[in-house]
Amino acid sequence: MMRFKDFYGRSLQMQIYFVFYFWSGALYITRFTVCNHTLCHLLLSIHTTLD
């Protein structure tokens, strides 16, 4: 019984770590994509104003 409880606790901890890393990775990718889009829009607007 003790072993099962220990295993369950450890797996729960692993799940929390996995979710945390997954969300931080997703947020990083989203932020990176948004920044790229913003930079592209800024560059496009600068090019159109120069023309």
Q: For residue 13, which of 2, 1, 5 has the smallest C-alpha distance?
A: 5
Instruction: State the residue range of the domain holding 14.
Output: 1-51
Inform me whether the pLDDT recorded for 22 exceeds 90. Answer: yes
pTM for the structure as a whole: 0.48
18-38: average pLDDT:
89
Domains identified in the chain, total number? 1
What pLDDT band is residue 2 in, cutting at 50, 70 and 90? low
Averaged pLDDT, 28-34: 88
